[in-house]
Amino acid sequence: MGLLSKLEKGSEIYAENTALRALITAIPHIGGSIDIIFASKAIKLIEERLIYLLARLRVEMKSLKEGIVDKDYLESDEFFDLVMRLMDASAKTCHKEKIDIYAKLLTNSVAIQGREEFSPEDYLNILIELTPREIDVAKIIYEKEEEIAGGHSAGKMIIDLKKLSEYCHFVPKEDLRFILIRLMRVGLLSPTTGWFADVEYVITEVFRKIMQYLEIK
């Protein structure tokens, strides 16, 4: 049974459960909204998100040349699993920018090049964990690495929080600290003691590989 079929069945069961509906609608302020979601809105929202994902995939796949598509991979269990997880992740987010990234990741997964070097399944796990704002900060860190460098540690650029905050004007400085911790927890940054004020993290190789992977065509 597909995701939409399960939701439709669940909505039918919910609609018939008058006791449960009464309990939910009795919740002050939000009960009515939750009732609408359970009764019908969830199906419509998820359908719209999956349609958007498919539209983005169509655009992304047009950029691939026929010769670089791995036909064997398209028949594999790995590709099936990735498609199912990506559709589930798309259904669970209202942010189109995240769905855009998922579409790009799936597109690049079918290319023959880099098959041994990159791991789209692992990258999807990381991207699912991050909010759009955290992804925006990660992009700035990657694109402005030279500008936000506050020094070096073991040959790696150290992030200067003050310099980074100048590019991340959409994030309060204290929130930016929290985002850096979040990026560290998913493996995109690693901590360093450093010798500079407000310097805490360096970019990991996993971070670079994910960003390179999303740029592959």
Whether this prediction's pTM lies above 0.75 is answered by yes
By percentage, how much of the chain surpasses pLDDT 70? 86
Tokens at 53, concatenated: 């994902």
What is the DSSP pairing of strand 156-160 with strand 189-191?
A: unpaired
Stretch 96-124: mean pLDDT: 89
Q: Is the confidence at residue 193, as pLDDT, over 70? A: no
Which one is predicted more confidently, 200 or 50? 50
Residue 2 has what pLDDT? 59
Write out 64-119 in H/E/C secondary structure.
Answer: CCHHHECHHHHCCHHHHHHHHHHHHHHHCCCCHHHHHHHHHHHHHHCECCCCCCCC
Report the chain's mean pLDDT, rounded to a whole number.
85
- pLDDT for 45-96, tens place per residue? 888 999 999 999 999 998 887 778 888 999 999 999 999 999 999 989 999 9
Which range has highest mean pLDDT (11-25, 107-121, 125-139)? 125-139
* CA-to-CA dists, residue 97 to 3, 52, 103, 136, 171, angstroms: 22, 11, 10, 10, 18
- CATH 1.10.10.10 residue ranges for the chain: 132-210
| CATH placement of domain 132-210 | 1.10.10.10
Q: Is the confidence at residue 161, as pLDDT, over 90? A: no
* CA-to-CA dists, residue 186 to 105, 153, 165, angstroms: 17, 20, 21
Report the distance separating Cα 164 and Cα 167, nearest Å.
Answer: 5
Q: Quick one: how far is CA 16 from the chain centroid?
A: 36
Contact between 210 and 123 under an 8 Å Cβ cutoff? The reply is: yes
Q: Is the confidence at residue 190, as pLDDT, over 50? A: yes
| 12: Cα within 13 Å, side-chain hemisphere | 6
Q: What is the CA radius of gyration of the chain?
A: 21
By percentage, how much of the chain surpasses pLDDT 90? 49
